[in-house]
Homo-oligomer: A and B are copies of this chain.
Amino acid sequence: MTKLRWGMIGGGEGSQIGPAHRFAAALDSAFEFVAGALDHRPEAGRDYAQRLGVPADRAYGDWREMLEGEKGRKDRIDLVTVATPNSTHHEITCAFLREGFDVLCEKPLTTTVQEAEEIVRLARETGRICAVNYGYTGYPLVRQMRAMVAAGDLGAIRLVKAEFAHGHHADAADADNPRIRWRYDPKQAGISAQFADCGIHAMHMASFVTGQAVDRLSADAVACIASRELEDDAMVNFRMDGGAVGRLWTSSVAVGRQHGLTLQVFGEKGGMAWAQEQPNQIDWTPLGQRTQIIERGAADLYPEARRASRVTVGHAEGMTLAFANIYRDLAAAIRGDDTGAPLFPTAEDGLCSMAAIEAVADSARHDGQWRDARPPMLRKA
């Protein structure tokens, strides 16, 4: 099978997200990295791309040059990943979709609901893939949880408890750290900091696993460090369209928590819990029975989880392999393979997150008043 051709915008030298995408795209040998505009400094980007093996004529200085260069090629890229600063996602994604490219965009998809709706419309009109990188959904056991809910193992879902609370921005001296300061400055980061950065992962996870969308929410957001204008800690209560109650905590001042993404789902017939830091087990308790440990790689998993697993039971799998499942699903969708429904998140998911961000910010500004969390274009008639 020949490899698909892949390009990336952003993810330049020294970034964390660049290698993460390259590892994930390379792992299954489904994609070949053939084009890139990796840096906002054209020469640095061209140089770095070539050092990574991109041919010189496809090592571009910026995304516009890349779009021009690629759109006319017979061997043009099959997928472009957009890993640039958030404020540029919309323009770049729209430009590539319009020229018929499939796109994987980093989260958050845009900076406003309106922009996200525009992308959703454009993806529908063009028929192109527009995926959004909620990479944690690639974990085999996250897909197992989704499959368990879908199969009715938990009965009707009553309650979802999601957390994404870490402690990496807990030092008050970070007020002078440029790598952190901008995140809490509305001029640079928009209307939300911690919820927009981490909270939407947890909220998307809640929707992904339960199959329910977030309808309404109420938020309490605070800046625990006085120098910040935007929140570094937030609690969001929500209601989902299938009847589930949601509770979501996100923080960047929870000293001692290294990552802190966890999901607990409680239904009529059982409850389960999963944590990203130890992602190879689910605690699953059928109502009235003992808690069982579900192991990644075990023979008793649902097909969605078995397919997403690459290593035998008992061996640890981690984030890179989860992320690679997003790319593998994209490859299958691009090729039109029929090997199980691809499970990558889409622009609709990105749009829901944008609506949630706006609702959270507005609710928090109004003492936690409940707000509609659905984007206008997805509200039911």
Across-interface contacts of A247 in B (CB, < 8 A) = 220, 235, 249
A residues 26-68 touching B (CB-CB < 8 Å): 26-29, 33, 51-53
Given contacts A233-B245, A256-B291, A271-B170, contact A316 B314 (CB under 8 A): no
Given contacts A26-B26, A245-B233, A368-B370, contact A320 B314 (CB under 8 A): no
Point out the residue from B52, B168, B233, B315 that lies within 8 Å of A29, measured CB to CB.
B52
Point out the residue from B166, B290, B321 that lies within 8 Å of A318, measured CB to CB.
B321
A residues 256-275 touching B (CB-CB < 8 Å): 256-260, 264, 266-268, 270-273
Mask for A315-342, Cβ within 8 A of B = 1, else 0?
1111111000000000000000000000
Question: Are A318 and B311 in contact, CB atoms less than 8 angstroms apart?
Answer: yes
Across-interface contacts of A235 in B (CB, < 8 A) = 235, 237, 247
Across-interface contacts of A20 in B (CB, < 8 A) = 311
Question: Are A170 and B266 in contact, CB atoms less than 8 angstroms apart?
Answer: yes
Across-interface contacts of A285 in B (CB, < 8 A) = 167, 255-256
A residues 227-251 touching B (CB-CB < 8 Å): 233, 235, 237, 245, 247, 249, 251
Interface centre among A27, A167, A318 (most CB of B within 10 A): A318
Question: Are B276 and A266 in contact, CB atoms less than 8 angstroms apart?
Answer: no
Cα A270 to Cα B257 in complex, Å, equals: 11
Question: Are A159 and B253 in contact, CB atoms less than 8 angstroms apart?
Answer: yes
A residues 141-198 touching B (CB-CB < 8 Å): 158-159, 161, 165-168, 170-172
**Nearest-CB residue, chain B, relative to A16:** B312
Cα A253 to Cα B266 in complex, Å, equals: 7
Across-interface contacts of A233 in B (CB, < 8 A) = 158-159, 245
Question: Are B161 and A51 in contact, CB atoms less than 8 angstroms apart?
Answer: no
A residues 287-321 touching B (CB-CB < 8 Å): 287-288, 290-295, 298, 300, 310-321
**Nearest-CB residue, chain B, relative to A363:** B368
Point out the residue from B22, B276, B280, B368 that lies within 8 Å of A237, measured CB to CB.
B368
Question: Are A314 and B166 in contact, CB atoms less than 8 angstroms apart?
Answer: yes
Mask for A199-212, Cβ within 8 A of B = 1, else 0?
00000000000000
Cα A280 to Cα B258 in complex, Å, equals: 11
- The size of the chain A interface, using a CB distance under 8 A, is 88
Minimum CB–CB distance from A90 to chain B (whole Å) comes to: 26
Mask for A336-358, Cβ within 8 A of B = 1, else 0?
00000000000000000000000
Across-interface contacts of A254 in B (CB, < 8 A) = 159, 161, 264, 266, 271
Cα A264 to Cα B51 in complex, Å, equals: 41
Minimum CB–CB distance from A144 to chain B (whole Å) comes to: 12
Across-interface contacts of A253 in B (CB, < 8 A) = 158-159, 266
A284 interface residue per 8 A CB criterion: yes
A137 interface residue per 8 A CB criterion: no
Question: Are A29 and B53 in contact, CB atoms less than 8 angstroms apart?
Answer: yes
Across-interface contacts of A88 in B (CB, < 8 A) = none
Cα A320 to Cα B3 in complex, Å, equals: 21
A279 interface residue per 8 A CB criterion: yes
Binding site for B on A (CB under 8 A): 1-3, 16, 19-20, 22-23, 26-29, 33, 51-53, 158-159, 161, 165-168, 170-172, 218, 220, 222, 224-225, 233, 235, 237, 245, 247, 249, 251, 253-260, 264, 266-268, 270-273, 276-280, 283-285, 287-288, 290-295, 298, 300, 310-321, 367-370
11 residue pairs bridging A and B, Cβ less than 8 Å apart: A1-B51, A22-B29, A159-B224, A161-B165, A167-B266, A167-B271, A220-B247, A233-B245, A256-B272, A277-B280, A311-B318
